[in-house]
Amino acid sequence: MYELKSVHKRYGLAKVALRKIELTVQDREFLVIYGPAGAGKSTLLNILAGITRPTSGDVLRNGVSILRVPPEKRDAAMAFENYALYSHLSVGENLAFPLKARGLGRAEVEERVSRISGILGISHLLERRPGFLSGGQRQRVALGRAIIRPADIYLLDEPVGHLDAKLRHKIRAELKALAEDLSATVVFTTTSSREALALGDRVAVLNAGKLEQIGVPADLYHRPANAFVASFVGDPPMSFISVEPRRQGDRVEFVTADGMPVAALAAEAVSNLREEAGSKIQVGFRSNEVRIAEEGDSNALRGRVDVIENLGYMKIALVGIGGDQVSVSVPAGTRLGVGETVAIAFPRDAVHLFQNARAVTHAVPSPGV
Amino acid sequence: MLQRDSSFAREALRYGLIVLVLGFIVFPIAWMIITSFKPPEDVMVSPPRFLFTPTLENYVHAIYDKNFLFYIKNTLFISVTSTVIVIIAGSLAAYSFARYNVGDGHLLFFILSTKMFPAIAVILPYFLIFRDVGKTGVGRFLGIGLDQPGALIISYTVFNLPFAIWLLVSFFQDIPRELEHSARLDGLSRLQVLAKVVCPLAAPGIAVTGVFTLIFSWNEFLFAYILTRKVASTVTVGVESFFTLQGILWGPVAAAATISVLPMLVFVLAMQRYMVRGLTFGAVRG
């Protein structure tokens, strides 16, 4: 088990890469660090690897500080985002490098190299130098070199980010299966929401050096801690409509600036909604929690279709309502044109509520509107 | 048809220029080699004779009468030792400049600034220092007095080191840091990383630096002339000793010069295969 205790990392005087991170990596866990570029994901991995020292805070392994343990004694294997291949060695020698450094016998080295290169589909490249490989092939060599040996923890920095879609899908599946086979502890960074939700036993969302939320994928998706996580996890991201609360007996109704009702929740459900002037209150929806209104739907808002994204098996319509934009999942066969005016039906009581970007409540989505 | 004419003219011009430049560079060397095989009476005649009976007389004179191989042996020992020291010390220094930015760039500039004054400006202090150090016990033990190989080894090392460091720094900077991080995680210690990853990748730079350093030391004249007399004299001083009171022995001079060029030629040709660029090509996403 690895623990980051209040880990802070500053580069120079101004640039803060990580802000007081508290994070635990459980044994045999597949932990995904998910965040936009420049969020501090690589810095976090480098600190776990011992390459970078935190400015303050502590890193523990099974309760003992490992800050003073050099990288070669940490038993961590890492795949670097920019590959970091030994360009003077062939692909086969690159893969064998960590094994030879640990003094493994020749037969075992050869056996492992051939097995890993088979899994990654690079068996035919073993004699080549990295300079003669494509980006995707090099990334696979980098990944192979990291997972070829048993390690206490595998640190994979966007290891499939530069592969084409088909290969990414395949390697992702292989990786998950491999991690389960080896009961390995894996920390994996990515900028893809899909990858984060698909691979992670838990997902940590990092933004501008701050840990926004950590939890199982379902939690992140259904109960985001704040508007950033809500808008960053899930594809399409959660959409928001700015509202104002109005108390009506034991219920609180949320209406748009034009006075149109969007949602109504029981007062106790929103008890931690603070009453303060000028605070920004938003109702959030997943694209599958709203739909195109049918005749007789009472709780509907009209809007204009701005963009239609065809995903093949379904379509995502971006509908402008007031100053906000709401994404709606619609069946692939739906006839819908850009510029068309549609009514969107909202679930009155199944909404996510945010005040000043912090989550207030996540009413459990109920079937039907 | 017209096209073929113009391309022929261009080709002719190209080869003409190549021959011209080559003539410029090769002619003096060819002259030296030709002269070394001429009998004494043919050396200084005007107009020069290109048809003559070749003789090894000059080589015999240089090698047996003047014992020229002794100078070669001296030079080999002095310049190789100095080059080895320069490469080891220079690599370590350059690596720390490249990786840890020692002295924030100021130190690196200062080091180069020691190359800015002419060698003649420091020759007197060097002479005095080596004269006095040579009289001490340590100086005698290490052979760093006047007319001792140690004095020249130290002088050449001091003079070549700044340039070597400058040359090497950029080669080390070219090696992505992640390669070292990766090697550490793969289980190598700092020194092992230097030996197994950094040095192989910096090999072209080290080869180039080695070639330059060795050539500088091999051809150096001023220090060798002032700091040695007999025991530790190098080839350049050896050639100079053919300038006798009776006159300059041009034939043996040419023979000696030809002999002195050979080891360097062999060395540079041998090093050529290491002097390739782009060894870090493909290491990181570019």
Spell out which residues of chain B touch residue A78, defining contact as CB-CB under 8 Å: 181-182, 185
CB atoms near residue A307 (< 10 Å): 12
**Region A231-247: what's the mean pLDDT?**
91
B200 near A CB under 8 A: yes
Whether residues A208 and A282 fall in one domain: no
Count of alpha carbons within 13 angstroms of residue A22, beta-carbon side: 1
Pairing of strands A210-215, A64-65: unpaired
Of A168, A198, A231, the position where a domain reaches its end is A231
Partner-chain residue, chosen from A74, A82, A135, that has the shortest CB–CB distance to B178: A82
d(CA B201, nearest CA chain A) in Å: 6
Whether residues A13 and A126 fall in one domain: yes
Whether A192 maps to a domain, the answer reads yes
Whether residues A22 and A136 fall in one domain: yes
Partner-chain residue, chosen from A81, A98, A135, that has the shortest CB–CB distance to B187: A98
Burial of A136 (0-12, 13-18, 19+ CB in 10 A): middle
A26-42 per-position pLDDT tens digit? 999 999 999 999 999 99
Whether A295 maps to a domain, the answer reads yes
Q: Note the pLDDT of residue A368.
A: 37
Q: What is the CATH number of the domain that holds A17?
A: 3.40.50.300
Of A231, A256, A278, the position where a domain reaches its end is A231
Across the interface, whether the CB atoms of B283 and A84 are under 8 A apart is answered: yes
Q: Give span(s): CATH 1.10.3720.10, chain B.
A: 59-274
Whether residues A58 and A183 fall in one domain: yes
- A268 pLDDT band, cuts 50/70/90, is confident
- Amino acid identity at A240: F
B100 near A CB under 8 A: no
d(CA A236, nearest CA chain B) in Å: 30
The range of the structural domain enclosing residue A252 comes to 239-362
**Pairs of CB atoms within 8 A across A/B:** 91
Looking at the domain that runs over B59-274, which CATH code has it been given? 1.10.3720.10
Whether residues A83 and A27 fall in one domain: yes
Q: What is the CATH number of the domain that holds A325?
A: 2.40.50.140
Q: Note the pLDDT of residue A185.
A: 94
* Residue A366 reports pLDDT greater than 70: no
A118-159 per-position pLDDT tens digit? 989 999 999 999 999 998 899 999 999 999 999 999 999 999
Partner-chain residue, chosen from B189, B280, B285, that has the shortest CB–CB distance to A72: B189
**Region A299-313: what's the mean pLDDT?**
91
Whether residues A260 and A215 fall in one domain: no
Q: How many domains does chain A have?
A: 2
Least reliable range by pLDDT among A52-61, A112-121, A205-214, A264-273? A264-273
Partner-chain residue, chosen from B189, B197, B285, that has the shortest CB–CB distance to A86: B197
Q: Note the pLDDT of residue B244.
A: 85
Whether residues A225 and A269 fall in one domain: no
Whether A369 maps to a domain, the answer reads no
Of A212, A231, A250, the position where a domain reaches its end is A231
Across the interface, whether the CB atoms of A129 and B186 are under 8 A apart is answered: no
Whole-number Cα distances in Å, A100 to A83, A112, A113, B20: 19, 12, 11, 55
- Sequence-distant (6+) residues with CB within 8 A of A54 are A7, A8, A9, A18, A47, A67
CB atoms near residue B142 (< 10 Å): 17
Question: Average pLDDT per run of 10 along chain B, which is 286 residues long?
Answer: 74 94 92 92 84 91 90 95 96 93 88 85 93 91 90 94 93 92 94 92 91 94 93 92 87 93 90 76 77
Whether residues A293 and A319 fall in one domain: yes
- C-alpha of A214 from chain center: 10
Whether residues A253 and A166 fall in one domain: no
SS (H, E, C) chain A: CEEEEEEEEEECCCEEEEEEEEEEECCCCEEEEECCCCCCHHHHHHHHHCCCCCCEEEEEECCEECCCCCHHHCCEEEEECCECCCCCCCHHHHHHHHHHHCCCCHHHHHHHHHHHHHHHCCHHHCCCCHHHCCHHHHHHHHHHHHHCCCCCEEEEECCCCCCCHHHHHHHHHHHHHHHHHHCCCEEEEECCHHHHHHHCCEEEEEECCEEEEEECHHHHHHCCCEHHHHHHCCCCCCEEEEEEEEEECCEEEEECCCCCEEEEEEHHHHCCCCCCCCCCEEEEECCCCCEECCCCCCCEEEEEEEEEEECCCEEEEEEEECCEEEEEEEECCCCCCCCCEEEEECCCCCCEEEECCEEEEECCCCCCC
Spell out which residues of chain B touch residue A71, defining contact as CB-CB under 8 Å: 181, 184-185
Enumerate chain A positions whose Cβ falls within 8 A of a Cβ in B.
Answer: 46, 49-51, 70-72, 74, 76-78, 80-88, 97-98, 101-102, 129-133, 135, 138, 145, 162
Partner-chain residue, chosen from B178, B200, B285, that has the shortest CB–CB distance to A135: B285
Across the interface, whether the CB atoms of A88 and B200 are under 8 A apart is answered: yes
Whether A153 maps to a domain, the answer reads yes
Tell me the ipTM for this assembly: 0.85
* Residue A369 reports pLDDT greater than 70: no
Report the C-alpha gap between A119 and A140 in whole angstroms. Answer: 10
Query: Please, what's the largest Cα pairwise distance for chain B?
Result: 82
CA dihedral (A79, A80, A86, A87) in degrees, to 10, reads 130
Spell out which residues of chain A touch residue B203, defining contact as CB-CB under 8 Å: 88
Q: Note the pLDDT of residue A179.
A: 87
- How does the average pLDDT of chain A come out, rounded? 91
CB atoms near residue A139 (< 10 Å): 28
Q: Note the pLDDT of residue B104.
A: 87
Is residue A96 within 8 Å of residue A111, measured between CB atoms? no
What percent of chain A is predicted at pLDDT more than 90? Answer: 69
Q: State which residue of chain B sits closest to A85, comparing Cα positions.
A: B283
**Region A94-117: what's the mean pLDDT?**
94
Across the interface, whether the CB atoms of A84 and B184 are under 8 A apart is answered: no
